[in-house]
Structure 1
């Protein structure tokens, strides 16, 4: 017997019962709905539920099967490369006598006032060169027979940023600083900033000209970054 015949027979049977017409029609509708539901599910293969998947927690440790992270050492300030200038702060440690030790800031004239020696010019010199110069002065001045000392860089001179940033001015330098990070320190670009025409005036450049750079260019202590305004 076909599905249509089943429906007609059920309707005829229910209509002949004693309950009221409204009840009969309700029962018939419910029965027809059940048959239709059965027809939709007949012959359909139920797919199995997928297996549980591993859930990775946000607090889970990072994978350890890759190479360890190595910071970029090329941008670190080396003792033999970095040249001192006004605003830098150095620490002199004399092993024979702590009275000769101290922290000194390079003043606007490029000098420090070392203990017992007095003002000495250090601008443009590396840390190694300052060590040799101080050894010679302590030895020749009769203060120490065989001076053993070291010179360390405590803080560097600031970098400068002007133009279309939220806060122009001088800011403390950090190792491996790039232009985009310097802009972030200055509060970010303004909406008028021309990001494709950024220039830098290098601190120790003998030329007065500024060089065009990208947002990924490394910044050095004392550099002046200029963010120009775009005209369209």
Structure 2
């Protein structure tokens, strides 16, 4: 009887170890196929001056000319409408380039001889966050914003969220790229961030 009990106990122990090993292997395989885990890393973006895009608001200051100074929205066609000048191209221009264009237009149209113009962005293109956050949607971009701070603004992660990494969809040089990024990744205006659901 004692021998039989010992044999039965050893058999049950072996089965439990085998079940645990199978479960562990299953966990590893699930980890390997977590949503978004197969995405390539987000390509590094070269440090270049920020360029304007539709939907952003810029403040134009023409020193000594209050009628030409104000805040203007970059239209869907990529122009800002400046008093006395009409539509001035702004899409894919830096703030300094737009200031130079406005200055040149003022001279060419003989409105001012030696204008002093400055341009700054006061409202950036929005960013978007989808997936496992409390309040997915569109949010204003702020310089220095990371995927984690965007998730915090969106109410924080849900209990199902994969919090180690996110997906970032980004338009670069006219091309749309998507890649996996750590949650501390700095995001850019127009980015779409997706927080995935974890399997376990």
Return the TM-score normalized by structure 1. 0.62
Give the whole-Å Cα distance in 1 for the aligned partners of 2:194 and 2:174.
Answer: 18
Secondary structure at the aligned position of 2:177 is classed as coil
Partner of 2:157: 189
Partner of 1:48: none
Is structure 2 residue 122 aligned with structure 1 residue 154? yes
Partner of 1:125: 93
Query: Which is worse superposed, 115-124 or 198-207?
Result: 198-207
- For residues 205 and 223 of structure 1, do their structure 2 counterparts lie closer, same or farther at Cα, with a shift above 3 Å needed? farther
CA contact (8 A) 1:203 1:224 kept: no
The structure with more radius of gyration: 1
CA contact (8 A) 1:127 1:152 kept: yes
Structure 1 counterpart of 2:71, from 82, 97, 103:
103
Which structure exhibits the higher relative contact order, with contacts defined as CA atoms closer than 8 Å and separated by 6 or more residues? Answer: 2
CA contact (8 A) 1:203 1:221 kept: no
Give the whole-Å Cα distance in 2 for the aligned partners of 1:216 and 1:82.
Answer: 20
1:133-152 per-position Cα deviation (integer Å, ceiling 9, x unaligned)? 11111111111111111112
Q: What RMSD in Å do the two structures reach over aligned CA positions?
A: 1.8
Give the whole-Å Cα distance in 2 for the aligned partners of 1:173 and 1:197.
Answer: 20
Partner of 2:199: 231
Partner of 1:141: 109
- Report the Cα offset of residue 189 of structure 1: 1.2
- Report the Cα offset of residue 153 of structure 1: 1.7
Partner of 1:180: 148
1:171-230 per-position Cα deviation (integer Å, ceiling 9, x unaligned)? 112221111111000111122222344111124354333111011111112211111223
Is structure 2 residue 183 aligned with structure 1 residue 215? yes
- The count of residues paired between Structure 1 and Structure 2 equals 154
CA contact (8 A) 1:84 1:125 kept: yes
Give the whole-Å Cα distance in 1 for the aligned partners of 2:68 and 2:160.
Answer: 53
- Report the Cα offset of residue 159 of structure 1: 1.1
Return the TM-score normalized by structure 2. 0.71
Is structure 2 residue 124 aligned with structure 1 residue 163? no
CA contact (8 A) 1:112 1:120 kept: yes
Structure 1 unaligned blocks of 5 or more: 1-77
Give the whole-Å Cα distance in 1 for the aligned partners of 2:190 and 2:107.
Answer: 33
Q: How does 1:38-77 map to 2 (within 5 A)?
A: none
